[in-house]
Every structure is written in C-alpha cells, then in structure tokens.
Structure 1
Amino acid sequence: MELQLYKNYEEISWAAAYLILQQVQRKPDSLICFPSGESPTGMYKQLVKFAQEGRIDFSQTNFVGLDEWVGMDKTDENSCTYFLNKHFFEPLNIPASQIHFFNAAADDLDAECEKMNQHISQLGGLDVMVVGIGMNGHIGLNEPGTDFNTYAHHSPLEPITATVAQKYFKQETVVTEGITLGLRHLAEAKTPVLIVSGTKKADIMAKALNGPVTTDIPASILQTLQNAQVFLDHEAAEKLLTHKS
C-alpha cells in the first residue's frame, strides 16, 4: 500500500484523474471500476476536462459500476448508476456497450452477481478499481463482517450506511440491501485506489490503516495490498500517526 497525502480535495481529485489518464494512455482497453458518491465527483470533473482537451481517449476503455442499492432502477435519480451516467459517462458520450452495471432491480440478484464476475473475468480482470470508504469502514457496499474472499454479492446494509445514504437522495428513500463488487475484486485489481477527504473520515481512516486487519473494518484489507494507492487530504489523515487501535 502506498499512502499519498494532498493538501485538499481538489489536489486529490486531480491526482486520481491523472492516475486514470496514465493508465488509459498506457493501456487504452483498460477495465476500470468507478464508484458513485462525493469522493470521486471531482475526479470525474477533471477526467471530463482531460477528455475535452484531447489528453485522454476512452474509446477502447471498459467500465464497471462498483455497486447499487437493491431494488433501485437505473433510471432512478437516487441510483448509483444514474449518478455515474450524469457525472461521467453521458458528458463523454461513452456508449453503453463499454459499461456494465448491476441491475439491482432484477428478480435474480445472484445471477446479476455472477454476470458481473464473469464480465470482469472475461475482460482479464480489473486494471483500476476506485473506491471510497464509509463511516463504518465499508468499501463499496461490503459491510463490516464481509469475508475478504467475497466476489460480487448482495447483502443487508448496516443502519449507518442506510442513514448516510439519505444525503444522496432527492427524497426520503428506504434502502436495506446493497449489491456490490467484492473485496476479492479489490485485492485482485492491478491498481486499487482509495480516495478519502475531510475530517469526518479521520477516525475511520486511522482504524483502517493503523489498526488490525479485520473484517470488522473492511477497508483494513488495504494494508495487505501491495499495489494499493491511498489518496488522502491532510484532514482525513490527521489521526493516522497518533491512533492506536
């Protein structure tokens, strides 16, 4: 794991976007996993700018969505899929043939998980997997207690995840279950990337990176991943050197 510290969110966003730029320049047909949420929004804005400036060409690149709220249709403005389309795929006119999302409204969620696993495997595995971290240490929707060897799966959400999720929704929406790529996908990605900013994440980052490696804190798996890139601003990293779990 390589820890990279930046002054603020803007610097993190540029650095993460530049990592993607270098990856796609090096391997145009890369397979990249992108998440929704606050953390990567600045990265998407910068990537769109890079593409509009002609610095990056996504015409051969394939993408997968990290996770989704179970039961939510992709056209729902509260969905992770809608978020990614709005902030990245639609501004760059990336065709649907290059993107694979979970269908969280499907009747057979196990089949959806298997489709995702097979899709990633058939394309040679993830080159880059970008994630954020939840207040309880979750990665994607891999909640505390998730086995590190788990691939794509669906499972109940902890109350804190369901509560925090409300800030992304335009109206009150009850979510109880998530479908997500697994921690095994993160471990097998050639370059796992964690983006974290803000004081509110300082406590969980200290536990994840300074504490024991445990399924109680899913993000602690990053300590075991040699190729992982962890991008933090000073606020998110403020307790890393002093916290002892």
Structure 2
Amino acid sequence: MRIIEVESYEKLSALAADIIAGQVLLKPDCVLGLATGSSPLGTYANLVKRYEGGLLDFSRVRTVNLDEYCGLKGNDPQSYRYFMDKNLFDRVNVDKESTHLPDGSAPDMEAECSRYEALVESLGWPDLQLLGIGHNGHIGFNEPEDVFHAAVHTVKLTESTIKANSRLFDKPEDVPTSAITMGVGAIMKAKRVLLIAGADKAEIVERAFQGPVTPRVPASVLQLHKDATVILSKA
C-alpha cells in the first residue's frame, strides 16, 4: 500500500485524475470503478477538463459505481446516477449505456443485488477502483459491522452516515436510511484501488491503514490489497 500526502485538495484531485487518465490511456476500454460524494468532485472536474482539451477519450470506457440509495430513481436529483451524470457522464463522451449503477428503485432488492454483482463480474471487475472513505471508515456503503460482507448487498445506514449525508438534502427526514452497495469482497477484486481523502479524514485514514484489519473499520481491508494507493490532502 502506498500513502501519498499532498498539500491541498486541488493537488489531490489533480493527482487522482492523473492516475485515472493514465489508466484510460493505457487501456481505452478499461473498466473504471467510480465513487460519489464530495471527495471525487475535484477529480471528476479535472477529468472533464482533460477531455475538453482533447487529452482523454472516454468513448470505449465502461464504468461501474459502488452504490446507490434504496428508494431513489435515477432521475432523482439526490440519486447517485444523477450525481454521476451531472458531474462526469454528461460532460464527456462516455457511452451512457456503458455506465452502470445499482438500481435503487428496483422492486426486488435481493434480485437487484444478484443482477448487479453478475453484471460487474461479466465486465471483469474494475481495472481501477476509485474510493472515498467515511469518517467511520466505511467504503462504498460498507458500514462498521462484526463481519466483512463479500457480495453486493443492501445495508441500513448508520446514524453518522445519515447525518453526514443530510447536508445534501432539504430536510433530514428526506435522507434515505438504506442503500445497495458493492461488498468489501467485490471491491477487493478490483485490479487497482485508489482511495482519496481530505484533511478532515486524516484520523480515520490513520486508523484504517496503520491499525489492525477489522470490519469495525471497513477500509482497513485495503491493507490486504495487492495494489492500493491512498492520497491524503494535508489541507
């Protein structure tokens, strides 16, 4: 595992974009595993700039996202599909049919978990998986528990996660309380992992990557990945 400290969020975003762009240039039809939340916004903005400057071609790229809220349709402004369309997919030349997220509005969530796991497996798992990290150590929506979950599954969100996400909703009661997420086992199948974290995550980054591997800090499992990089911003 490599841990890289940079001076600012801007440098973090530029470096993360460098790594992702390198993957796309190396393998134009690569599978990118993508994440949502505030951490990757700068990275996506950097990728858009490179596309607009003629430096990147996403036309053959396939993407899979980690997670989605249960109960939200893809056109809901709070859904992760909407987030990805707004911040990346609608701004580059990726084929929208090649961008995949779990369906949070599926009538049968157990069946949707199986469908999404099979879809990601059929693509060959991500060549590069981008991750953020929650203040409680979650990756995707794998919350602290007594065991690691391997497969795509549904999860009830912790109070701390609901509170952290409430800033994005008009009313706290509008925040979904459950989600569908790729499991830790699925995340570990990515060929390369890139985790980005702002200065406010320094404490949990230390716990996750300097402490023991434990499902109580889900991100700690990345210590066991064969090719994991963490970029941490000092400010």
TM-score range, shorter chain: over 0.9
Q: Residues 202 and 232 of structure 2 are in contact (CA less than 8 Å); yes or no, is this contact kept in structure 1?
A: no
Give how far 1:82 is off.
0.8
Closer, same or farther in 2 for the Cα pair 1:146/1:101, shift >3 Å? Answer: farther
Give how far 1:226 is off.
2.4
Which whole-Å CA distance do the structure 2 matches of 1:67 and 1:14 have between them? 24
Matched ranges for 1:36-185 at <5 A: 36-145=36-145, 147-148=147-148, 150-172=150-172, 173-185=174-186
Closer, same or farther in 2 for the Cα pair 1:65/1:98, shift >3 Å? Answer: same
Which whole-Å CA distance do the structure 2 matches of 1:135 and 1:174 have between them? 18
Q: Secondary structure at the match of 1:90?
A: helix
Q: Residues 5 and 234 of structure 1 are in contact (CA less than 8 Å); yes or no, is this contact kept in structure 2?
A: yes
Closer, same or farther in 2 for the Cα pair 1:39/1:146, shift >3 Å? Answer: farther
Q: Secondary structure at the match of 2:188?
A: helix
Matched ranges for 1:230-245 at <5 A: 230-235=230-235
Q: Deviations over 1:135-193 (max 9, x none)?
A: 11100100011643512111111111111111122444132111111111221111111
Residue-pair matches, total: 234
Give how far 1:66 is off.
1.4
Which whole-Å CA distance do the structure 1 matches of 2:187 and 2:175 have between them? 28
Give how far 1:95 is off.
2.7
Q: Secondary structure at the match of 2:201?
A: helix
Q: Residues 73 and 79 of structure 1 are in contact (CA less than 8 Å); yes or no, is this contact kept in structure 2?
A: yes
Closer, same or farther in 2 for the Cα pair 1:59/1:93, shift >3 Å? Answer: closer
Q: Secondary structure at the match of 2:91?
A: coil
Give how far 1:40 is off.
0.2
Q: Residues 126 and 185 of structure 1 are in contact (CA less than 8 Å); yes or no, is this contact kept in structure 2?
A: no
Matched AA of 1:116? Y
Matched AA of 2:26? R
- Consecutive unaligned residues of structure 2, counting only runs of 5 or more, are none
Q: Which residue of 1 aligns with 2:32?
A: 32
Matched AA of 1:186? I
Which whole-Å CA distance do the structure 1 matches of 2:152 and 2:170 have between them? 27
Runs of 4+ in 1 over 3 A off after TM superposition: 146-149
Matched AA of 1:188? K
Q: Deviations over 1:204-236 (max 9, x none)?
A: 11111111110000011111112001011125x
Matched AA of 2:197? V
Give how far 1:117 is off.
1.2
Matched AA of 2:206? A
Q: Which residue of 2 aligns with 1:243?
A: none
Q: What's the Cα RMSD here?
A: 1.3
Which whole-Å CA distance do the structure 1 matches of 2:149 and 2:157 have between them? 19
Matched AA of 2:3? L
- Consecutive unaligned residues of structure 1, counting only runs of 5 or more, are 236-245
Q: Residues 169 and 175 of structure 2 are in contact (CA less than 8 Å); yes or no, is this contact kept in structure 1?
A: no
Q: Secondary structure at the match of 2:194?
A: strand
Which whole-Å CA distance do the structure 1 matches of 2:46 and 2:152 have between them? 29
Which whole-Å CA distance do the structure 1 matches of 2:231 and 2:145 have between them? 24
Which whole-Å CA distance do the structure 2 matches of 1:210 and 1:108 have between them? 39
